[in-house]
Every structure is written in C-alpha cells, then in structure tokens.
Structure 1
Amino acid sequence: MRSLVGLIAVVVVATLYLYLLSTYLPAGPRHLRPNGETQRADAAESEQPAESYGEPSRLKFPSDLEELRELAELLQFYKTEHTGYVLLLFCSAYLYKQSFAIPGSSFLNILAGAIFGPYEGLLLACVLTTVGSTMCYLLSQAFGKQHIVSHFPDKVSMLQRKVEENQDCLFFFLLFLRFFPMSPNWFLNMSAPIVNIPVTFFFCSVFIGLLPYNFICVQTGVMLSEVSSLDDLFSWERLLQLLAIACVALLPGALIRRYSQSRLKLDDPQRNGLATDKKAQ
C-alpha cells in the first residue's frame, strides 16, 4: 500500500510540473508575414490582431501525424526565440512518457527530428530514451515490484529464466531484446530490476539497442518537416534516402542476430509467452 501511495505521489507531482510548464508560454512569434518575417501580437505594431499560435490548449501530446505536424510547426516558431523553453518542454514531456511507460514516444522521436534536425534530434532522442527508461527502471525498483509480479507472473517468470540462462552474455541478450523484442519495451523497463538486471547493463543496452529505432523515427521527422506534398515524399531522392535509412538501421540488428544464433539461448518466440505484444515505448 505504501509503495502505491508513493508512486501516485510521484505521478501527481510530475503531472503538475508538466502542466504548469506547458501553460507558461513566453512571448513568441505568432505567425509569418508573406515576406517571411515574424509578426508579434502587439497592438502598437499592427492595426489588426495577429492570429495566435501560442494558446495553451494546443500544447498536447500528438495522437496522429496531423497533430504531430501542427505541434512541430508551433514549436518551431517558439524555438526561433525561446530555444531553452522549447528544449525544456520537449525533454520534460519525453521523460514523463518514458518514466511512466505511456505509449507514444515514437511520435516524440519524430517530433525531435522535425524540430531539432537529424543530428541534434537523434542525440536528444537517444539520451531521453535512455534516461527515461532508466527512470522507469528506478520507479519500478522503488514502488512497483510486487504489482508487476502480481499482474504479469508468467512473463516475469519467463524473462527471469532467460536472464539466468544467458548470464554469461547478459549484455548481448539485452541488446537482442531491444533489436528483436520478444516483449514490449515498457515491460522490459519495468521488469528489469525484478529479474536482477544491473542498471549499468540496462542503461547501455537501451542507448545502443534503441539507436536504430530512434534513427528511423528522427529521420522520418526530418523528412516530414521538409516535404510539402506527397509528390515530394515519393520522389526518387526521398525513396533513396528511405532505402539508405533502412539499410543503416538494419545493419546492427543483423549483426546481433548472427551473434545470438551461436551464443544466446533463445526459445521460439511463439512458445516463450513473451511475444504476445507489439514493440512499444
């Protein structure tokens, strides 16, 4: 009971912080003039009231690509003059989702590419994914062990057995689970402390194991921010770019899979009871 109360308190405090941060919108660009200059909502500078892009109600987690694109445009406007605020808001929202195992982090990875670009976006996505997953690990270790075991006894037992069987090459086994998830990432994050996976192994395996996934999402966000129509998306340049992204992302997984065939002890995913869910963050 005490662990549940503690977890609820952490969720409430984190939610209140994120809410207050999202409602604090500093003065920023409202919309663009035809010549590309930014117009502010200042009555002394304009005879007509400017259209507001900074309403608090528009700051919400995106649930589809259309909302994602609108949010990316809004934050790109604010980023021109309030980079620190946008960065803090994005990091806080990302860590909130990852820490409490809320689905939808893939949208935030795409958003990172659209706002911060291919390199900064990828670095930010990898760091936030790793830190957020580790926070989920620590929250589970502090408050959620008994609840996870009681709700997922078979999955926890199976994962415990596989961890013990692959103790000699545990780090590569963890990488395999990230590249070829037999269980969703949120479950791995929460169950890792229960099956005695060291936090250092966990931290490094998340950073490396989810790098290809983050890379694909971030590059998708970069392309979405650059294209204006479906014709641009299906141009030869974009198709070749997508092919290159797929090859780069698949290479680490192919190497890990080849290593796993000779070193790791793995059952058929259909028989081990861990393949019932899709990959989720």
Structure 2
Amino acid sequence: MRSLAGLGALVAAASFFLYLLSTHLPPGTKHLQPASDGEDETVEEYSLKFPSDLDSLRELAEMLKLYKREHHSYVLLLFCSAYLYKQSFAIPGSSFLNMLAGAIFGPWEGLVLACLLTTVGSTFCFLLSSTFGKQHVVYFFPDKVALLQRKVEENRSSLFFFLLFLRFFPMTPNWFLNITCPVLNIPMPIFFFSVLIGLIPYNFICVRTGSILSEISSLDDIFSWATLAQLLAIALMALLPGALIKKYGKAHLSVDGMDSDSQDQIRKDQKKR
C-alpha cells in the first residue's frame, strides 16, 4: 500500500504541474479574426483544447506555432511536460503527440524531440515500475510476465536485439514492456538504447505525417504528387530497418508464441483480477 500511495502522490504532483502549465500561459500577441460582412475584425486570445479531428489538430498546431514565435521556450516546456507525463505513467497512445511535434516543430526537430522524449519518458516509467510497481505488475499480469521472462532467458545472449525486435514489431505494447522490463531484470543501458533506436521508425512516421498534415488544406493536397512522394519515402525509410531486424530475428532470436494475440492475454489477466 505504501508503494501505491507514493506512486499516487507522484501522479497527483505531476498532474498539478501540467495543469498549471496549461492554464497559466504567458501573455501572447493577440491575433485578428477575419471580419464578416458589415462587421469589424475581432481579436481572439490563444486557448488550449484537445483536438478531436483533423481540423482541430491543424487548428491547435497553427495556434501553438503562432504562440511559439514569442514564447518558444514555454511551448517547448509545455510539450515536453505533456509527453513525459504520458510516457512516464504508461498512458497508451503516443501517435497524437508525435504528429503534433511534427506540426509544431517541423519534421527534423520534431523527430529529435519525439525520440528523446520517448526514451526519457520510458526510462522514467522503468524507474517508477522498479520503485513502486514490480509486485503489482506480476500480480495483475502473471501469464504475460511469465511468457516474457521465458523469452528473455531464451534470448539472453542477444538481449539487446531481442528488445529491439519487440520495439520494431510490437507483439507486446510498448507501455507494457516499459513497466515489465524491471521485473525481467533488464539492465538500464540495454533498455534505454533499445527504446531510443527501436522506436525511431514509428516516431518518424508519426512526426513526418504530422508535418505533412499541418501543411495541407484539402483532400486535393493529399493526393498531390509531392505529398504522395513524401508518404512513399516515409514508408520506405520506416520499412527498411524493420525488414533487416526481422531477418536477423528469424535467424538468431527465439520469438515463437509471441504474436499479436499476446495482447489478448493482457486483457485476460486484467479480467482475472
């Protein structure tokens, strides 16, 4: 119970800090809204809201890009804090934040940010699990932990490439790997670099897609030759390292029994409790 109380206190503190960042923005330059017929131009303040579709995603990205011109450091702090919050507390789904990184910071700065934040956040999650939650991970997911433990022992001589394989081909969700690796006695350096390298293709696809989406204004733009060429290049660059790792995995790693159905086992373990 003490471990859960400590973890709860950390979550509450981090949530409060993120709330303060998002609700106490420094004053930014007001921007003019186009006037309707017979009406004056109106001044609109910046406001934050969670996007629910492509249009709202572009609207949020444009707003933050404008705000970034005067408060680059604050936007960077806000984005990094939100990303680390999600990763540290094993909240699934990083594609939106990766796309937002590409839309706000551009494809290359966004990619560097996404890779660094994914790695640092996952490492925080590793440390939190090691400190507060190892026994709870085993309690709630006994079968899945046992399967991973067996596979880790079978691939102990090629442990780094085994973890890299799991990042390239997520037979097990990334958030679950982050909280389970301390239970499996994975060394911190191996964990760190397997995340940093293994999630580059996924981060690249999301960030580059976000950068493209922030630049298009209609469906016609999506099907332009320039956009299609960029999407094709993204696919090729993302698939090449995955193909090489998969070829190596088949020859040197033992991954039998680890497929997409293993995610169903996680849900079964949850239902047992």
Q: Is the shorter-chain TM-score for this pair beyond 0.5, marking a shared fold?
A: yes
Question: Which one-letter code corresponds to 2:21 in the other structure?
Answer: L
Using structure 2 for the length normalisation, give the TM-score.
0.91
Q: Structure 2: how far apart are the matches of 1:234 and 1:118?
A: 20
Is the Cα–Cα contact under 8 Å of residues 80 and 117 in structure 2 kept in the other structure? Answer: yes
Using structure 1 for the length normalisation, give the TM-score.
0.88
Question: Which one-letter code corresponds to 2:181 in the other structure?
Answer: A
Residue 9 of structure 2 is matched in structure 1 by: 9
Residue 207 of structure 1 is matched in structure 2 by: 196
**Is the partner of 1:226 in helix, strand or coil?**
coil
Indicate yes or no: 2:264 matched with 1:276: yes
Indicate yes or no: 2:250 matched with 1:261: yes
Q: CA deviation at 1:59?
A: 4.1
Flag the 1:129–1:63 CA change in 2: closer, same or farther, 3 A: farther
**Is the partner of 1:50 in helix, strand or coil?**
strand
Question: Which one-letter code corresponds to 2:65 in the other structure?
Answer: Q
Q: Structure 1: how far apart are the matches of 2:250 and 2:52?
A: 38
Pairwise mapping of residues 1-281 of structure 1 onto structure 2 (< 5 A)? 1-32=1-32, 50-52=43-45, 54-55=46-47, 58-60=48-50, 62-270=51-259, 274-276=262-264
Q: CA deviation at 1:63?
A: 4.7
Q: CA deviation at 1:49?
A: 5.4
What is the percent sequence identity of the aligned residues? 67
Q: Structure 2: how far apart are the matches of 1:153 and 1:273?
A: 16
Is the Cα–Cα contact under 8 Å of residues 28 and 77 in structure 1 kept in the other structure? Answer: no
Is the Cα–Cα contact under 8 Å of residues 176 and 257 in structure 1 kept in the other structure? Answer: yes
Calculate the aligned-residue CA RMSD, in Å: 1.9
Q: Structure 2: how far apart are the matches of 1:241 and 1:32?
A: 33
Q: CA deviation at 1:277?
A: 7.9
Q: Structure 2: how far apart are the matches of 1:134 and 1:227?
A: 35
Q: CA deviation at 1:77?
A: 1.4
Is the Cα–Cα contact under 8 Å of residues 160 and 194 in structure 2 kept in the other structure? Answer: yes
Q: Structure 1: how far apart are the matches of 2:128 and 2:59?
A: 33
In structure 1, runs of 5+ residues without a counterpart are 35-46
Length, aligned pairs only: 261
Q: Structure 1: how far apart are the matches of 2:91 and 2:17?
A: 17
Q: CA deviation at 1:48?
A: 6.6
Q: Structure 1: how far apart are the matches of 2:33 and 2:265?
A: 48
Is the Cα–Cα contact under 8 Å of residues 216 and 246 in structure 1 kept in the other structure? Answer: yes
Residue 271 of structure 2 is matched in structure 1 by: none
In structure 2, runs of 5+ residues without a counterpart are 35-39, 267-273
Deviations 1:36-86 (A, max 9, x none): xxxxxxxxxxx975122x23xx244x4543432222122111101100000
Q: CA deviation at 1:175?
A: 0.4
Is the Cα–Cα contact under 8 Å of residues 32 and 43 in structure 2 kept in the other structure? Answer: no
Is the Cα–Cα contact under 8 Å of residues 175 and 208 in structure 1 kept in the other structure? Answer: yes
**Is the partner of 1:214 in helix, strand or coil?**
helix
**Is the partner of 2:43 in helix, strand or coil?**
coil
Is the Cα–Cα contact under 8 Å of residues 64 and 104 in structure 2 kept in the other structure? Answer: yes
Residue 270 of structure 2 is matched in structure 1 by: none
Flag the 1:119–1:195 CA change in 2: closer, same or farther, 3 A: same
Q: CA deviation at 1:269?
A: 3.2
Residue range with higher mean Cα deviation, 67-76 or 218-227: 67-76
Q: Structure 2: how far apart are the matches of 1:21 and 1:2?
A: 29
Q: Structure 1: how far apart are the matches of 2:108 and 2:32?
A: 26
Is the Cα–Cα contact under 8 Å of residues 183 and 276 in structure 1 kept in the other structure? Answer: no
